Structure 1
Amino acid sequence: MVPQTSNNLPISPILKKALDIFTLSRYISDNLIYDLAPLRKNGSEDPNIYFTGDIVQQSISLAPEILKAESKVFSEDKHKHVESLSQLTHVLYNNCERLEKSNSRGKEFLPLLRKELKKFKKLQRIWMLTL
């Protein structure tokens, strides 16, 4: 069965992948937080904990940018949202790499998220041609 939007239109593959990325990043963030939240022996916090929130925030922003780009009439407006989507994807990928260097057992799921981001980038290139 093909997922549908509220107005019974099928969800585009890129939008579905964006939602999958959000779900996955949320799951990964929840797993990483348990290892990164405790304070260090010197009383400081692990700076990598902020990247867990960043990957969730950036991944939740993917779908709205796709919808905004698809809803715009003029190509200049579409291009702004496409560029924003590209930047979000790039920063999200970089934050995954940073989190892979953290001291956490949950980091083993980050290569999976990066793999999904690579698939998303491929879908993004195809999707840009259809706008």
Structure 2
Amino acid sequence: MNYNLPSHLSELPVYRKAMDIIMLSRSISTYLNHDLSYLNSDGTEDSDIYFSGDIVQQSTSLAPEIINAELERHSDKKHKHFESLDRLTSKLYSNCRRLEHSKSNGKDYLPILRGELKKFRRLQRNWMMTL
């Protein structure tokens, strides 16, 4: 991930945590995909495989929203980025919960991701107060 970052942005705890979440969700998704990519006995695919892609997509969207909020000058536009971050975090959290019911050994790693999301939410709230 190579964004044109202002120098201070890479030092923000909320940004660093977002980057950790991206790496963790990609690793978990890769692990889950190996277990969920096989067809069921009736020839259908496991619908949980789509949620594993969703966690990657949603986690990848966290960092750009942080960047956009940091670079935005108008407070009403900053709030739109904050709301988007809240939605992404909530969706990511709920997709983790859904994947915990999947038929994969990788589901054991999802509580770790949910724990990181809780830490991210705390950092996000503190960061939002500073802008």
**TM-score normalised by length of structure 2:** 0.94
Alignment correspondent of 1:94 = 94
Unaligned segments of structure 1, at least 5 residues: none
Letter in 2 for 1:58: Q
Unaligned segments of structure 2, at least 5 residues: none
Give the match's secondary structure for 2:45. coil
| Distance 1:87-1:67 versus aligned 2 partners, 3 A rule | same
Residue by residue, what CA displacement relative to the aligned partner does 1:55-87 show, whole Å, maximum 9, x if unpaired?
A: 000000000000000100010000000000000
CA distance in 2, matches of 1:6, 1:118: 25
CA contact (8 A) 2:5 2:67 kept: no
Percentage of matched positions with identical amino acids: 57
Once the two structures are TM-superposed, the CA of residue 113 in structure 1 deviates from its matched residue by 0.1
Letter in 2 for 1:40: N
Once the two structures are TM-superposed, the CA of residue 6 in structure 1 deviates from its matched residue by 5.7
Q: How many residues align?
A: 127
Aligned-residue RMSD, C-alpha = 1.2
Alignment correspondent of 1:51 = 51
